[in-house]
Amino acid sequence: MIKFSDLKLDPKVLKAVEEAGYETPTPIQAGAIPPALEGRDVLGIAQTGTGKTASFTLPMITLLAKGRARARMPRSLVLCPTRELAAQVAENFDTYTKHLKLTKALLIGGVSFKEQDQLIDRGVDVLIATPGRLLDHFERGKLLLTGVQIMVVDEADRMLDMGFIPDIERIFSLTPFTRQTLFFSATMAPEIERITNTFLSAPERIEVARQATASDTITQGVVMFKGSRKDRESSEKRTLLRALIDSEGTACKNAIIFCNRKADVDVTAKSLKKYGYDAAPIHGDLDQSQRMRTLDAFREGSLRFLVASDVAARGLDIPDVSHVFNFDVPSHAEDYVHRIGRTGRAGRKGTTMMICTPRDEKNFDAIEKLVQMPIPRLDNPMKPGQAEAAADDSPAEEERKPRTRTRTRAPRKTDSEKPEAAQQARPEPKPRPERKPRAEAKPRPEAAAKPEHPQQDEPKRDQRPAQSPSRSRSSGRDNGGKVVGMGDHMPSFIALSFDERRAS
């Protein structure tokens, strides 16, 4: 049996590995470390949870033990698809470099640019980054990739799913052609194979398991579920999830619950907390510091249930997870393998359960076709009547709907319906004063008088006399006694108001 001491690693690295409690390498480690130490390109294909991280960190540390880093020019580069995976790789480097003086920098989103720039300016041996943040630093002129000697792409198939392949190709073009490339993936999609043929030079291919297979240490199961009504299906699924957790009893000491959508992650976590389950959500929309606190709490055991989107499905090393619950059937069959790979790691036993509704059967058939085995059907653990009582879980669903304010006025009560005390306390209404009849308007003298020239016709529109500039603004009349703008045939009641104002 091969041991780490047989792999020609640096003695200080071997000491750190022994202190971490490892003696025998996994198949992917035993196959990838020797060619990596020889400086060859490596293409590693292995299912999640097989120790791919150590298969590239250990030879990198050994090769970088000699040499010195220069400012803004890292000596090695590790690309990861998610912040959590990048942070985990950084922790592995801290573990294995404890006896060596190697520096590292972690470039991920949610962290200040200023702090990261300070680390890069001092010079780092190992740069661990997500593609987006790495290119941000490069475009700002804070980073040079011409000194990269070793480049690692971890979880390449996840990079493909997240749309990072164009960024990966650009980063490859920024690094030296003479670099050593270590490429690791759980599956080999056609696009991944095209990249390896383009950027890897005669790589050593190590494939330790059939592509997209589940570990033999994982017990799988699925509950075929159909809701009583379409509008209650989500609520009843949450009831079924709690019933599955309760059916496992003390065997379920902790679990990761996967949902397809971020909104469902939040709703499911709130529902579990409402019913007394210790749960917290984690997905890409949360603040980075909150995501790290939640992960740390789950690793330490202070948090029992982690409700997650697929951001937590790839590469996270949480060794002792007893159960994985798929609240939703994943849209991509490969994601199922990565989700259930969070349990049954390092030879431990694990259990996975999935809830499948009628509309998920197409995706479920694709999963069984991919893993090349039928997933055992489980009995529904809900008790009779428990599904109907699931309507009590509806408030968590309502929190997602926008609230609209509506006012409803109560009908007025008649005097007969009001209490007697209220009727007695009400003061009698005072009689309204009678209004005096309005005086009839007197005829205007000017209107009653006959015109001086009765034989003269009305002036035509284009022959009207121009208004006199000596018009009084206070009275609104011109010198001819006419109201400006009212025409020649003005009603007498309008003229009366102007006459009263003039008299006053």
Give tens-digit pLDDT for 16-43: 999 988 889 989 999 999 999 999 999 9
Please tell me the pTM assigned to this model: 0.65
263 within domain boundaries: yes
Cβ neighbours, 10 Å, residue 173: 10
Q: What are phi and psi of 375, to 5 degrees?
A: -85, 125
410 within domain boundaries: no
Q: What is the pLDDT of residue 448?
A: 46
Cβ neighbours, 10 Å, residue 34: 18
Q: What is the pLDDT of residue 469?
A: 46
The reply to whether 33 and 160 lie within a common domain is yes
CA dist list (Å): 353 to 36, 256, 279, 325, 502: 38, 11, 18, 5, 96
476 within domain boundaries: no
What is the three-class DSSP state of 257?
strand
Residue where one domain finishes, among candidates 374, 390, 406 = 390
Strands 255-258, 305-308: pairing kind: parallel
Q: What is the pLDDT of residue 30?
A: 93
The reply to whether 150 and 260 lie within a common domain is no
> How many whole angstroms separate alpha carbon 248 and alpha carbon 352?
11
The reply to whether 199 and 89 lie within a common domain is yes
DSSP conformation letters of 399-448? TTSPP-----PPPPPPTTTS-HHHHHHSPPPPPPPPPPPPPPPPPPHHHH
68 within domain boundaries: yes
Pair of tokens at residue 492: 């007498």
404 within domain boundaries: no
479 within domain boundaries: no
What is the three-class DSSP state of 168?
helix
Low-confidence ranges of the chain (pLDDT < 70): 48-49, 209-213, 312-316, 346, 384-504
Cβ-contact 206, 44 below 8 angstroms? yes
Residue where one domain finishes, among candidates 372, 390, 408 = 390
Which residue carries 């001092």 as its tokens?
122
The reply to whether 128 and 194 lie within a common domain is yes
Handedness of CA 287, 290, 295, 296 (dihedral sign): positive
Which residue carries 């194979």 as its tokens?
193
Query: Considering its fold, how many domains does the chain have in total?
Result: 2
The reply to whether 277 and 191 lie within a common domain is no
Domain assignment of residue 318, given as a range:
218-390
CATH number, residue 120: 3.40.50.300
The reply to whether 192 and 250 lie within a common domain is no
**Which region, left, alpha or beta, applies to residue 163 given φ > 0 means left and ψ of -120 to 50 means alpha?**
left
> How many whole angstroms separate alpha carbon 30 and alpha carbon 23?
12
- Percent of the chain as helix, strand, coil, to the nearest 5: 40, 10, 45
The reply to whether 69 and 188 lie within a common domain is yes
The reply to whether 117 and 249 lie within a common domain is no
The reply to whether 184 and 294 lie within a common domain is no
Pair of tokens at residue 27: 């198949």
Residue where one domain finishes, among candidates 390, 407, 423 = 390
The reply to whether 271 and 140 lie within a common domain is no
The reply to whether 27 and 120 lie within a common domain is yes
55 within domain boundaries: yes
285 within domain boundaries: yes
Task: Express each pLDDT in 155-209 by its tens digit.
Answer: 888 888 788 989 999 999 999 999 999 999 877 888 888 999 999 999 999 988 6
Q: What are phi and psi of 105, to 5 degrees?
A: -140, 140
The reply to whether 18 and 157 lie within a common domain is yes
Cβ-contact 28, 50 below 8 angstroms? yes
